[in-house]
Structure 1
Amino acid sequence: MKQLLILCVIAIISAEESKKNESKCEGIHVRNKFHRKQVLGIGLNRPYQLSYDQSEHRVYFSYNVGKDDEDSFEIGYLIKGHHDHKVLKTVENGFATAIDNKNGILYIGSNEGIFKKHLKVNGSKVERVISNHNVWDIFFKDHLYFITYPAQHLYKIVTEKEKKIAERQKHIHEKIYQFAIDGDSDMYITNDTGLFRIKNGTNKRIWYEGPTIYRAIEINKKGIAHFSASNAIYVPNKGNHSLEKIAHIKNLFGITFDSDDNIIYSDPHEIVKLLPEDCK
């Protein structure tokens, strides 16, 4: 009887310890490893189009400042260690962001064109790069690329006779929603039918089966493309042209990466960093 009582006590303790471990490990797993959520910004309305300034460790983003039934946007940013965001007020209706971290330049897309700000120069003013374009999305790698609205056409900023001009990328003939170039110089686009890779040096589209709607494509420091769908983050398997789900996150909007390649994502009201942690 005494031995049975001891076994029952051990079983109860083991069950309680198991519950504690399960509770501690509840949360987001990236590639099957537990990650702790560190909330960077709160009380935001649909923060989107995230970019990370690696020198000052700031997150730039767009967010809605209009009513629920209207869209009016501002560019905000989060300073390390502060939950309350600041506003970059010099660009009206700023919607898209991208950062050239090598040269420390923030690019901002709006319905009045593209602007830039030198992040490494204290007190630098916002300068206009190009006008007469309503900008939907922007991406930087060696050159600045942008997608227009509502035509959804892709352009590249080039210099001709010391003047910046927008050059239509006619090999991307379809209407697209996102565009990015990875570390292998392969291009990724999304359109009404889903996600495609265009291998470097070709025009052939390789379709990736999976979600048909994506909210962001971002490249991490290793040059790997990450795709944000409404409830998950995916990466490509180039060997068999498939998608690998690396994290399940509800109501995803934007993603970016900090200087240590940790994932930063946004949902309808928060901006969160994911930090790997041992939960045993």
Structure 2
Amino acid sequence: MLVPIKFSSSIEKPCNRFKIGDNYFEKELIWTGIGRPYNLNAHRRSNTIFFSYSTVDRFEDVDFQLAYVDIDSKLSQNIAGIRGGCAVAINQKNDDIYLGGMEGIYRYNMITKIADFYSEAGKNIWSLSYNRNLFYISYPDQRLFIEVNGKFAVVKEFKYFEVDHFHVSNNGWIYFANSSGLFTYDNYKMKVSVLNNLLTVRQMAEDAEGNMYICAASGVYVITKDNKTLKQVIDLKNLHGLTFDRENNIIFSDEANIIRLQYRVNGCDESNKSWLTQF
């Protein structure tokens, strides 16, 4: 399990372990391929990661494809039928898996392996998130919508905000990010507070213990319990996505890979410093 403290890290090649603070972690490659894996979201019951990655289209410069990979078997598969698929949200209690693309929202069936149309026909879905309600962000206007009684409406509290990323935590805290930075929103005081105005946020994810993590271009950060500051836990550049498996191991993506970090009691023999390379 990651300890939320800042660190500098190095890999020990023979056993592929590195140190974060006083703890050792082993790097495991889950998926590798062309394109940048975005919007990682782990379905805990099946231990499967749903994600989007960029592809080269014959008619457009860049397109997006939704896919999934089984964490245990490493078997992966593209999800057909969703043009420009780039968004994922999961209701872990009901095992509902929502996917979004250029033509609306779909719901994925784990048994049939088919994504059926769900709602918002013709809407370009930038992002999806779920906590008690399903939310989506539209593109290119970056407006936030909420589903209530089967219908979607603009979230009035965010009517005048552009929203690139949005998350409601299990303890009720509301976080959002845009080109101006990372913010919290107090739903009772209707007040926005700045957490950081320098980060380029790429994903928000909450672990099984309620810790809130931010994946940014400059690394991975955890939000302190007072919701006022950030602490860096992974000092890596060019990260794109973040999620947690059913054992609460952290999983992140870089420009071409999805990687899991698993806690280990011991590290490698550090007497040979030539084994150590920058992570």
CA-based RMSD of the aligned residues comes to 2.3
Is the counterpart of residue 111 in structure 1 residue 102 in structure 2? yes
CA deviation digits over 1:151-177, x for unaligned, max 9? 001000122xxxx32110021121011
C-alpha distance in 2, partners of 1:124/1:35? 33
CA distance in 2, matches of 1:47, 1:22: 25
What are structure 2's unaligned runs of at least 5 residues? 1-10, 269-279
Task: For 2:66 and 2:114, locate their aligned partners in 1 and report how far apart those are by CA, in whole Å.
Answer: 15
* Rounded Cα–Cα distance in structure 2 between residues aligned with 1:272 and 1:166: 35
What is the one-letter code of the residue matched to 2:223?
Answer: P
CA offsets per residue over residues 145-202 of structure 1, 9 Å max, x none?
Answer: 011100001000122xxxx321100211210110001122110011222011113423
Match for 1:126: what amino acid? Answer: A
Greater strand share, 1 or 2?
Answer: 2
Higher relative contact order (CA 8 A, sep 6+): 2
Which whole-Å CA distance do the structure 2 matches of 1:83 and 1:231 have between them? 27
CA distance in 2, matches of 1:133, 1:104: 24
Q: Which residue of 1 aligns with 2:124?
A: 134
Local SS of the residue matching 2:28 = strand
Q: How many residues align?
A: 254
CA distance in 2, matches of 1:114, 1:168: 16
Larger displacement relative to structure 2 (177-186 or 74-83): 74-83
CA contact (8 A) 2:199 2:218 kept: no
Change (3 A) 1:30 1:89: farther
Superposition TM-score, scaled by structure 1 size? 0.83
In structure 2, C-alpha distance between the alignment counterparts of 1:101 and 1:26, rounded to whole Å: 32
Give structure 1 regions of 4+ aligned residues with deviation exceeding 4 angstroms.
21-32
Segment of structure 1 superposing worse, 73-82 or 258-267: 73-82
Summarize the alignment of residues 103-252 of structure 1 with structure 2, pairs less than 5 Å apart: 103-119=94-110, 122-123=111-112, 125-130=114-119, 131-159=121-149, 164-172=150-158, 173-209=160-196, 211-239=198-226, 241-252=228-239
Q: Please tell me whether the aligned partners of residues 12 and 18 of structure 2 are also in contact (alpha carbons under 8 angstroms).
A: no
Q: Aligned match of 2:53 in 43, 46, 63? A: 63
TM-score (norm 2): 0.83
- 1:279 to 2:267 alignment: yes
Q: Distance in 1 between matches of 2:227 and 2:148?
A: 35
Q: Percent identity?
A: 25
Structure 1 residue ranges without an equivalent (≥5) = 1-20
